[in-house]
Amino acid sequence: MPPLLDARPGRSFALRVQSGTTSFYPGRPSDTLGYNGSYLGPTIRVRRGDDVAAVVTNGLNADTTVHWHGLLIPGELDGGPHQIIAPGATWRPTLPIRQPAATLLYHSHVHGLTAEQVYSGLAGALLVTDDEEQGLGLPSEYGVDDLPLLIQDRQFENGRLVMPGGMMVAMQGRRGDTILVNGAVNPLAAVPNRLVRLRLVNASNARIYELSFSDRRSFHWIGTEGGLLEHAVALEAITLAPGQRAELLVDFTDGRSASLVTAADTNSSMMGGMGMMGRGARRTDAAAPATVLRFEPRPLGQARASGVVPTLLASRTGPDASKAVRRRRLSLNMAQSAPSCDFGQVGERFGNVAFGIDDGNHRRGQFAPS
Which residues are near Cu ion by CB under 5 A?
A: 69
State in angstroms the smallest separation of the CB of 286 from Cu ion. Answer: 21
CB closer to Cu ion out of 81 and 96: 81
State in angstroms the smallest separation of the CB of 68 from Cu ion. Answer: 9
State in angstroms the smallest separation of the CB of 57 from Cu ion. Answer: 21
Nearest residue relative to Cu ion (C-beta): 69
CB closer to Cu ion out of 85 and 270: 85
CB closer to Cu ion out of 69 and 154: 69
CB closer to Cu ion out of 69 and 220: 69
State in angstroms the smallest separation of the CB of 243 from Cu ion. Answer: 5
Q: What CA–CA distance (Å, rounded) separates 190 from 187?
A: 10
CB closer to Cu ion out of 126 and 258: 126
CB closer to Cu ion out of 69 and 207: 69
